[in-house]
Amino acid sequence: RIAMFRRRKQTTSGRDKLVEEFIKAYPVAKSNASRTVFDFPVSTSTGVVALQMTLPVGFPQSRPIVVSRTQIRHHLFDTTMRVVGSASLQTWTEHSSLSKTVESIITDLQRNVPIFLRPMPARSPITYVTPTPPSPVAQPPRPPRSPVARPMNRPPPQRKPAPSVGPVWTPPHIDTKFDILDSFNTEELKKVVESEEHVTGLIDSLGCFAEGDKKKKELYESVTKLTDSNLGEKPKFEELQRTIADLRKEEFKTRSTLQQLLETQRDILKKFGGPALRKQLMEAITKADEKSEDVLQQFVDEESEIDAFIKDYKNI
């Protein structure tokens, strides 16, 4: 009965452990009451990025959702400002570390600086008011109003432009107006359009493509020069390839010879090594003992004389 009234020790779930670890690593993160949404800033060399992390219902089995509340352009984020290019999020499992996952995203943001996009100004919607038709009944005249002092019209205060938080991408300016065409009439324009030579001559006379043609020519010359240089080195490369092929053949022969020598060495050690010689010596001793016993038995049985016995025993 006493065991029935003992309180069970409260265990911390995997979700709570991951959240506590994240809060300990990032104390600046602000969360809601249920600790499912966390807001934390990330400082980069060009500005501050406000990130928001949401823990779904199936967390930690489901991966966390990280979005940027600052409009930026970065390879980790898609057009909806959601992190989709992080390897740690793509390989998320229930045993992954939440703080290390966020740390990898922050490290990538600080290493590859994002481009901050200028927010578009909000436009107020246009409303149309239908005018009220005049009443058919004549209204009595209104009493005259006493003059009221009105404030002087002052120009509205000029707002200072907000400081830029980072490099803003601006598209290059492309001039699409050609003043030379203003002097052409309809017939001349038709002739220019119908004739390819006139079009080419007109484009060359504009001069706006001269710089591009010059760079194109320089690039073509550099590529041609590099190609000729590489082709000039081709015989040298072929000779080196043949030398390498010969060296590989010699290496193969040397390896084969070495393998044969190693096999010969193993056979010699097998026949004349310490264990083999010890075995041969023991066999020779055993044979000598047996032969000496036979000679001694013959002498005991008086089958041989003492001189022959001594001679045979010495030979053994």
Across 297-314, average pLDDT: 79
In this prediction, residue 156 carries a pLDDT of 65
Q: Taking CA 207 as the corner, what is the angle to CA 205 and CA 208, rounded to the nearest 5 degrees?
A: 135
| Mean per-residue pLDDT of the chain | 78
Model confidence band, residue 146 (pLDDT cutoffs 50, 70, 90): low
Model confidence band, residue 67 (pLDDT cutoffs 50, 70, 90): very high
Q: What percent of the chain has pLDDT over 70?
A: 72
Residue 96, number of CB atoms within 10 A of its CB: 15
Per-residue tokens: 158: 């000029």
With contact defined as beta carbons under 8 Å apart, do 81 and 119 qualify?
no
In this prediction, residue 216 carries a pLDDT of 86
Q: 3-state SS of the chain?
A: CCHHHCCCCCCCCHHHHHHHHHHHHCCCCEECCCCCEEEEEEECCCCEEEEEEECCCCCCCCCCEEEECCCEECCCECCCCEECCCHHHHCCCCCCCHHHHHHHHHHHHHHCCCEECCCCCCCCCCCCCCCCCCCCCCCCCCCCCCCCCCCCCCCCCCCCCCCCCCCCCCCCCCCCCCHHHHHCCHHHHHHHHHCHHHHHHHHHHHCCCHHHHHHHHHHHHHHHHHHHHHHHCHHHHHHHHHHHHHHHHHHHHHHHHHHHHHHHHHHHHHHHCHHHHHHHHHHHHHHHHHHHHHHHHHHHCCCCCHHHHHHHHHHC
Q: Say which residue, 94 or 271, is predicted with more confidence.
A: 94
Q: Edge-to-edge strand order for the sheet containing 48-54?
A: 30-31, 37-43, 48-54, 65-68
Q: C-alpha dihedral over 221, 224, 228, 233, to 10 degrees?
A: 110
Q: Which of 46-60, 75-89, 156-170, 189-203 shows the lowest mean pLDDT across its residues?
A: 156-170
Q: What is the pLDDT of residues 209-265, one digit of tens each?
A: 667 778 888 999 999 999 999 998 889 899 999 999 999 999 999 999 999 999 998
CA distance 65 to 36: 10
Q: What is the pLDDT of residues 147-193, one digit of tens each?
A: 555 555 566 666 665 555 555 556 555 555 566 666 677 877 777 77
Model confidence band, residue 124 (pLDDT cutoffs 50, 70, 90): very low
In this prediction, residue 270 carries a pLDDT of 82
Q: What is the pLDDT of residues 208-224, one digit of tens each?
A: 666 777 888 899 999 99
Per-residue tokens: 17: 């452990």
In this prediction, residue 287 carries a pLDDT of 87
Across 61-84, average pLDDT: 91
